[in-house]
Amino acid sequence: MEKLYSLKLPRPRFAAFFGLAILAPALVSFTAHPAFGQAATASVEGSVLDSTGAAVPDADVVVANPALAVERRAKSSGAGVFTVSDLTPAPGYTVTVTKTGFAKYTVKTFDLAIGQALYLTVSLALASTGTEVNVTSDAPIVETTKTDVSAS
């Protein structure tokens, strides 16, 4: 009987490695991640307008949560738009908007949920004129131990 010779080719090891290199990232991408389109953070966005509805540029916006020791700052754009993103979802946030010549605007104690984009329309009123009181330490000395009355 005649012996048939077969040609033995070396097993291509790079093919197994290449297959694993493609498969591993695919497996990781489908495990322990939020659903597509769902973010694990929240944001606060909005417009800053004056009482006539015109945009207020360069307004200072502060989003804070004292319980989380979070304070994020932003400025409104030329169109009066602001965005503060990547906030940790939690209760107890406040938003304060200030601009020179306008009264301070505050939204107190609201909650942010996962993936939430809270939109605020802030209407700033003109600042009213107020009385300013300056206290100094140069108060006149009053003698409390003398009871004399003097005539001038």
76 within domain boundaries: yes
Contact 90, 69 (CB under 8 A): no
Mean pLDDT to the nearest integer, 75-80: 97
CATH of the domain at 59: 2.60.40.1120
Give the model's pLDDT for residue 128. Answer: 80
Domain ranges, residue 57: 45-124
Please count the structural domains in the chain: 1
Q: What is the mean pLDDT of the chain?
A: 77
How far apart are the two ends of the chain, measured CA to CA in Å?
148
**CA nearest to 124, candidates 73, 54, 26:** 54
pTM, two decimals, is 0.61
Q: Is residue 77 part of a domain?
A: yes
For the chain, the residue count is: 152
Phi, psi dihedrals of residue 126, rounded to the nearest 5°: -65, 145
Is the model more confident about 39 or about 19?
Answer: 39
Q: Of 32, 105, 93, 42, give the one whose Cα is nearest residue 64.
A: 93
Q: Find, among 81, 34, 89, the residue nearest to 58 by Cα.
A: 81
Examine residue 72 and state whether it is found in any structural domain, yes or no: yes
Task: Give tens-digit pLDDT for 85-127.
Answer: 999 999 999 999 999 999 999 999 899 999 999 999 999 999 8
